[in-house]
Amino acid sequence: MLQYDSIDEIVKAADDKKISDVVLADQAKFMDVKPEDLYSRMENSFDVMCEAVKKGQDENIKSMSGLTGGEGFKMKNYSENGGLSGKFMTKAMSMALAVAGYNASMGKIVATPTAGSCGIMPGCLVSLYDEGRADKRDIVMSMFTSGAFGIVIAKNASIAGAQGGCQAECGSASGMAAAALVELMGGTPAQCADACAIAIANQLGLVCDPVAGLVEIPCIKRNVSGVMIAFSSADMALAGIKAYIPVDECITAMRNVGDALIPALKETALGGLASTPTGKALKEKVFGVEK
């Protein structure tokens, strides 16, 4: 049985097999369920992601606060012309925006690993599925790889913005998604680990500063950044570029950086963008002027 104490442990257990195959068998045994039943649960999660993308791209969707809405729709339209990043990547951006926006409107999403970072995994995986660049079963299986990496991150660092800043949410999600992308593209378990390490390293220190304490500004747009980092990290790993700092050490570094962040930068809405004049004005717009 895997202990999920380190990603190195998972990589070594996989050897020349796919990480997802090892994790599915391990989790099915641990939970005393049939592998096909556990697969079905994960497939349902992917279906929820696809539905969240579709509903989140509605032109009229609005957040509960009224501060945000329609970002996924606008980016979807923009993606038709390719944009600076090309049609595929702008479509992936639109999906990330759609799911994060759907979360803000109280829609049903999959927390991967959190609601604040819920658009990153769908932005990466649903875009590949939508373009026919990956088989659904392979995508669902890759989610077992990302889930295993997420378990290690949560165990050794944090996936909560209130504890570790946004690096713990979007940083973790990007690392998990990057690992899934590498497996989908035929990469090795070691390359999955490198991709995760690169993604985490590129978001160390990212603070959690939600305007008005809501998971909207700047959270929704950070999901797009997370998608871009996941894809670029996966591409670097697949190109044979090493992380140099092992992924487990990156996770430890993320924990240490999170511990060093002051409370104002950990989901309290007392620092960062939340403390700017505009951030404060938006808070007053939603909640009124404090007496």
Q: What is the pLDDT of residues 204-262, one digit of tens each?
A: 999 999 999 999 999 999 999 999 999 999 999 999 999 999 999 999 999 999 999 99
Using an 8 Å Cβ cutoff, are 90 and 29 in contact?
Answer: no
Domain boundaries, the chain: 7-285
- Alpha carbons within 13 A on the beta-carbon side of 291: 0
pLDDT at 61: 96
CA nearest to 132, candidates 83, 82, 188, 184: 184
The whole-number average pLDDT for the span 9-19 is 97
Instruction: For residue 290, name the pLDDT band (cuts at 50, 70, 90).
Output: confident
The DSSP string of 153-208 is HHHHS-S-HHHH-GGGTHHHHHHHHHHHHHHHTT--HHHHHHHHHHHHHTTTT--B
Cα 73 to the chain's mean position, in Å? 20
Q: How far apart are CA 93 and CA 82, in angstroms?
A: 12
Given this model, what pLDDT does residue 291 score? 67
Q: Mean pLDDT across the stretch 186-193? A: 98
- The DSSP bridge partners found for residue 123 are none
Least confident of 16-20, 66-70, 153-157, 286-290: 286-290
Residue 125 has pLDDT above 80, yes or no: yes
Q: Return the H-helix or E-strand segment holding 21.
A: helix 19-31
What span, in angstroms and rounded, lies between the C-alpha atoms of 11 and 217? 36
Determine the pLDDT at residue 289. 85
